[in-house]
Amino acid sequence: SQTIHQWPATLVQPVGSPLSLECTVEGTSNPNLYWYRQAAGRGLQLLFYSVGIGQISSEVPQNLSASRPQDRQFILSSKKLLLSDSGFYLCAWSLGPRNEKLFFGSGTQLSVL
């Protein structure tokens, strides 16, 4: 069966420090991969999605970047965190675009202080 792993679960980082969040999927090939951010009390904002290795689409220009070095690995990064980067980050995968349901990771709560 397919599983998705996302880590760490909680992260506290100072302003200006780098960030690396990792997400891996098991049990499937060539999944669509997504990074979402959920600000406190708000809905999900799509940050990046990827339909294949090295293929990254950015939805919102910001302080973050994403990479997909392997088929089932998706990494969210920042060189210098801002206070506004705080939030709950969710990785997700699907079998195809648009019409397939999303399978979500357990999320990372990032606090930038």
**Whole-angstrom Cα distance, residue 112 to residue 46?**
20
- Taking CB under 8 A as the binding criterion, the range among 11-19, 29-37, 60-68, 71-79 that sits at the site for other proteins is 29-37
User: Nearest CA to 37 among 62, 15, 2, 1?
Assistant: 62
When asked if residue 28 is in the footprint of other proteins (CB under 8 A), the reply is: no
Cβ contacts of residue 46 below 8 Å, gap of 6+? 34, 35, 36, 59, 60
When asked if residue 61 is in the footprint of other proteins (CB under 8 A), the reply is: no
* Assigned token pair, 20: 């690396």
Quick one: 31 or 85, whose CB is closer to other proteins?
Answer: 31
**Whole-angstrom Cα distance, residue 89 to residue 29?**
23
Quick one: 14 or 99, whose CB is closer to other proteins?
Answer: 99
Q: Whole-number minimum distance, CB 44 to other proteins, in Å?
A: 4
Quick one: 1 or 14, whose CB is closer to other proteins?
Answer: 1
Strands 108-112 and 55-58: unpaired
- Taking CB under 8 A as the binding criterion, the range among 16-24, 65-73, 75-83, 98-106 that sits at the site for other proteins is 98-106
Q: Whole-number minimum distance, CB 16 to other proteins, in Å?
A: 27
